[in-house]
Structure formats: C-alpha cells, structure tokens
Amino acid sequence: MQNLLFPGRHHLLTNFQLEYLTRVTSGDRELLRDAQGKPIELTEPIQTLIWAVTSANHCNTRRNPLPAHRREVAIEEFATQLDVDSYVFLIDDLGFTERYSEYVLKKICVDSLGRFALTPENTLVASSTPEVISQYERLGYRVLPVELLDREKVTFVTDPPWEVMNKIIADGLKGEDWRKNSHFIGKVARATRRLYKKYGYGDQIIDLHRSPLLTEDGDLTATRDYNTYVRSFDSGASRKLSLVREFVQPGRIVDIGCCTGALLRELTFEPKLRESDFYGIEVARPLYAECLHRKEQGLFGAENVFFYQKDFAAGQLFASNSINTFTTFALTHEIESYSGRDALESFIHSLYAQLAIGGCWINVDVVGPRDKTKRVLMKLQKQDGIQGKDGIAEETDKQFSREDRQGLKEFLDGLSTYERFLRFSKDFRRDEGFQLSYEVVHRGSEQFIALSLQHACEFLSKKDYTDNWSSEMHETFCFWDFPQWMAAVRGAGFRVLEASTDYVNPWIVDNRYRNRVELYDESLQPLEYPVTNMVLVAVKA
C-alpha cells in the first residue's frame, strides 16, 4: 500500500491543492518529483491520503483561526472529490521542536490503532514548508513540494493557502466583502468556501487581524514617576507569571494595563501558549512607547505580539466572545480611583462580554480587609524619622511643586511613620473631596490613632510610596473586600474559581509593617496584619 501524508494546519484549502492531489494520486509523472527535483518512481499507486491537521489544540488566533473539528469538516468534503481513501488525524502542537515530524508519525500510528504505521518505504509526504520538508527528509522520506518552487529562495508556483488567506484578510480590512473577494472565489476550494459562508469564518478571521483604535496621548495622572513602575513590573514579572500560569488559556491573550509588556514576555515563552496571540493594552504614552521599543528589539518569544494605546475603561476593545484570557495586574483599583464605581462595574461587564464562553479573567490587585468598618487602634513608630525634635517634626504638611518630586520624596523619607500618617491624613484623596476621619487616643501612657480598619489599611498600603506620593494619594485600594469583589464579578455573570483568594503578602509585612505599625482592637488585644492582595480568577459561564 502506498500512502501520501499531507501535514499542515489546513485552515484553508485551495483549488490548486485539489488539482495537485488529483494528479499526484493518479500517478502523474510530471508532478511526481520530490523537493530536490528528483523523479519518484512508485512501486504501486497511491491508495490512501492521510491528513495530519497540526496545531489541532489551538484556535481563535491569527496563526490558527479555525478549531480543528471545523478544519476536519472541510477536509472530509474536499476529499470526496478525490479517487483515493482519505483519513484525518488531529495533531496537537508541541512548541518548537526538531522532532515534531516524528511525533506526527507516532501520533497517527497510535490514533489509528496501528493501522497506519508510516515509513519511508510505504509513504510519501506532501508539504510546501521548507522546515517541514527538511524534518521529513532527515527521517528518510521523499517529499512532494506542492506549491513550493524554490526552497532556497522560498518562492512558489502559486499562492500557498496562507498567502491566499493573507490577501483575503488584507482586502477585508479595507472594507471589501470577503464573500465577493476574487481570491476567495477563484482560489479557495469549494469545501472551504462553504464552511466559511456557513459559519461566518471570514468575518471572524478578519476581525482577528483588526486592531483596536488608538487614542490620543493620555494618562491617568501627571504626577507619576514611571521609572519606579517600570522597575517594579519588570522585577516582578516572574512572580506574576507564577500567579497566573495555571489559569491562562491559549488563544487570544490580553494583558490590560500591561506597563512595559513584562508579563506578556514571560507568557510568550510558555510552551502551551506558543500558538497564541498576545495583546498588551496600555493607556500611558511613556509605557506604550517602551512596549513598542522592546518589541522592536525582539525581546518576545512569539511573533504575534501586539500593543495598543487605549483607554481600557472607556469601552469594549475587542469583539464580543472573542478573547480567551484577560489579565489585569494592579489595574482595577485605578479604575475605581480615577473613573469611579460605575466605570469599574462597566469594565467588569465589558470583560465578560468580550470573553469567549469558558474564557478566563485573572485579576491580581490590592484588596480591602473583610471587616473594614471595624474601629481599630493603630500604634505608630515615632523614632524612625530624622526631621524633628523628640520624634515629631515641626512641619509635616510642607508643600512642594508638582515638578519637585525628588524634594517631596526626600522630605517624606525623613518623616517617622507617625509623622507620615499625619501627612497622609491631609493628602489622601484631598483632590477628590475626601477627609480622613480619625482621632488621637491614649491608653495609659501609650498613644494610638483610632480609625476604621479600611482607612488604616489605606495608610499601610501607601505609606512607603514616597517616590510617587502625589500619585498614590489619588488612589483607593480598600474600597471592596474580597467577598464584595466576588459578588460584583458574579453579578456580571462570571463563575469564580475556588483558587481565588485574598492573602497577606509576607514580604510587605516583614519589610513595611513590622516594627513600624501595630494594630489593636479597642480592648487593646493585638490584631493580625490584614490582607494586602488578591488573586481573583473568573470564568465566563
């Protein structure tokens, strides 16, 4: 028995392929030449055509727009026009490996229960991809070049399927109806045309290549030092990856508020995500520019990485039901802080609309304590400053110009924790009309600050951001506790995974809280330090 193995993604089948396979399987000597130009003498006719549909576990991306089962449908219809038996096998992607061809052959043997044990003696291979050709040649197989004319210059006798698709997409992005496109009508095989029209795949594929519109230069605040944020996000990228790795789904992956693209870069090197499309959305012009610069330097591990400057809270960025994974780090509290509650709730509903069924939103952010209205006593260190006499500075509300960030930082760094709270009580959301409610109380010889646990946590979470103090004073971290977060997300239609949790960051406790701040209830019983962060994993039901 003589077999013809035809490996490929097979998202689009062409009339050229139909003619080529018809002639080859009928024994046309003109076409029976391998990729080196040498004639192939068949000892017996080709009786079986075996389709290996590669990247079968990927869909909804630019490289792999169609799910494997739809590709198989088109192949089965296409094969009815051939005079040989045809079989389809779905092959998962393994990432970059020089042994992928071996895996394909073994997978077919296993999936066929040993019926198709393909060897160089009983099988020819058909492929127009030079890398694929080389892999099978190293295993001893003769390879038919299909559309390939010159493997060194990588030229073709006619457009291969991916180039036909690119031309249809290019015209579609210009507004042309893909159903009337000359390439679609003249070059695409009937089986694919019928499939695309029936399920509207042309619209979906073109939309995958459509970019969100860019906004004009903008930012949330004019008081932010982005160097600090860049260093923080870059140094924490591997830690962020460890938090989200198990939940990120392949396909279209969007990191909103991506900073410099550091997390996306880590994701591009994940083997299971190799065939995915990666999108970074960043509103701040300096950070967006840095994302583009890093892409130009080739720092990402995948080709399909795209960045857009866009106001993520202004509305829907992508088509409904089109995204597989959203990630947001330290973002949602900024929406609440700068745009308000309605904007945050609208953002949550917008993410739900854009996710595909079963798609995932991973939100990592600060969070409020669960008993945030509880009145607590806060004992603050007075001896860790250098400004004043007897541990108290004469002036804690000294004013600085917006441009003098360094002067403000040096001043704040010199204040004790107690003094810094006094400054915080005046600055926190002052521009938003907020006035912090607290009182100084004494228990015996000890002095405490009495206030709600929520506002104590607001101070704890911000007291060390002296290099971005003016910016941080606009932001509220503790507006929702974790149960309130889950209720809001479920209210939008999401299902919250059990892995979701709020937690105390031990590094923050050891390096920022301990020996500086102590918390007590009103009976002076010591309290544990409250939660600092959350990981919320929400799935579109």
Give the mean pLDDT of 212-235: 50
Average pLDDT value for residue range 144-152:
95
> In the β-sheet with 375-380, what is the strand arrangement from edge to edge?
439-443, 446-452, 375-380, 517-520
**Two tokens at 216?**
């004009």
How does pLDDT run across 343-400, given as a tens digit for each residue? 999 999 999 999 999 999 999 999 999 999 999 999 999 988 875 445 555 678 889 9
Residue pair 360/247 in contact (Cβ under 8 Å)? The answer is yes
In this structure, which amino acid lies at residue 340?
G
pLDDT of residue 232: 60
pTM of the model: 0.75
Using the 8-state DSSP alphabet, how is residue 528 labeled?
P
- Helix, strand or coil, per DSSP, at residue 193: helix
DSSP bridge pairs for 365: 534
Q: Which fold has domain 226-366?
A: Rossmann fold (3.40.50)
User: What digits encode the pLDDT tens for the residues 191-206?
Assistant: 999 999 999 999 989 9
User: Would you kindly state where each structural domain of the chain is located, as residue ranges?
Assistant: 2-208, 226-366, 375-472
pLDDT tens digit string along 75-118? 999 999 999 999 999 999 887 778 899 999 999 999 999 999 99
- Could you identify the residue written with the tokens 């503790």? 478
For residue 233, pLDDT over 70 is answered with: no
Bridge partner list, 252:
277
Alpha-carbon distances, residue 194 vs 184, 237, 360 (angstroms): 11, 45, 32
Q: How far apart are CA 294 and CA 296, in angstroms?
A: 5
Question: How confident is the prediction for the chain on average, in pLDDT?
Answer: 91
Query: What are the helix and strand counts (H, E) for the chain?
Result: 20, 19
Options 1.20.210.10, 3.40.50.620, 1.20.120.640, 3.40.50.1980; CATH of 2-208: 3.40.50.620
The tens digit of pLDDT for each residue in 40-84 reads: 998 889 999 999 999 998 888 888 999 999 999 999 999 999 999
Report d(CA 428, CA 438) in Å as an integer.
13
DSSP conformation class of 43 = S
For residues 317 and 219, give the distance between their C-alpha atoms in angstroms, rounded to a whole number. 17
**Residue 96 CB coordination number (10 Å):** 9
Domains 2-208 and 226-366 in one fold: yes
- The encoded tokens of residue 65 equal 């727009």
pLDDT level of residue 219 (50, 70, 90 thresholds): very low
- State in Å, rounded, how far the first CA of the chain is from the last one: 49
Residue 482 has pLDDT above 50, yes or no: yes
How do the residues of the chain divide into helix, strand and coil, expressed in percent and rounded to 5?
35, 20, 40
Of 399 and 458, which is predicted with more confidence? Answer: 458
Phi-psi region of 27 (alpha: psi -120 to 50; beta: other; left: phi over 0): left
What are the tokens at 68? 């494997």
235-272 pLDDT per residue, tens: 778 889 999 999 999 999 999 999 999 999 999 999 99
H helix or E strand, kind and range, residue 138: helix 130-138
Alpha helices in 283-398 (DSSP H): 285-296, 332-339, 341-354
Could you tell me if 358 and 425 are in contact, meaning their C-beta atoms sit under 8 angstroms apart?
A: no
pLDDT value at position 284? 83
pLDDT at 442: 94
* pLDDT of 11: 97
Q: CB neighbours (10 Å) of residue 103?
A: 15
Q: In this predicted model, what pLDDT tens digit does every residue of 402-454 receive, in sequence order?
A: 889 899 999 999 999 999 999 999 999 999 999 999 999 999 899 999 999 99
The answer to whether 227 and 201 have CB atoms below 8 angstroms apart is no
| pLDDT at residue 220, rounded to an integer | 44
Helix axes 201-208, 190-199, angle to 10 degrees: 80
**Contact by Cβ (8 Å): 77, 13:** no
Name the band, by pLDDT with cuts 50, 70 and 90, for residue 216.
very low
